Amino acid sequence: MSHFRHGQWVSTSTKFDGAHTTPDGRSVGIYQRGRTDSLGGESPQHVAIVRPDGTNLVAFADSKAVDVLVDPADLTDLQPLLDLASLPPGRALTAPK
């Protein structure tokens, strides 16, 4: 179980081409806790990496565009992002309180 809240902004020293970065070069994303939907389908916990405009970063897989969703365990030095100046422009209002 992660110590992050669902929807919390986070940063990682793992690099992603096209990702929004903090002034010190860390990639930015949003932590999503794992859940089970009403039909029993499971969605594991992940970090959605974001672009400079604050939308999800996408990549191509099997000839389809998919969001870049990464298991938190696969990210290096994952930390809460608390510095409002490091958020993508226009997304500061969704910062953790």
| Segment 65-84, tens digit of pLDDT | 999 999 999 999 999 999 98
Nearest to 46 by CA among 22, 65, 66: 66
pLDDT at 63 over 50: yes
In this prediction the pTM is: 0.85
What SS3 class is residue 48?
strand
Return the percentage of the chain with pLDDT > 70, whole number. 91
- Which single residue is written with the structure tokens 């389809």? 64
**Distance of alpha carbon 87 from alpha carbon 43, whole angstroms:** 25
Amino acid letter, 21: T
Calculate mean pLDDT across residues 32-48.
88
The pLDDT value given to residue 1: 47
In the chain, domain spans: 9-81
Calculate mean pLDDT across residues 34-52.
89
Between these two residues, 97 and 10, which has the higher pLDDT value? 10
CB 50 within 8 Å of CB 33: no
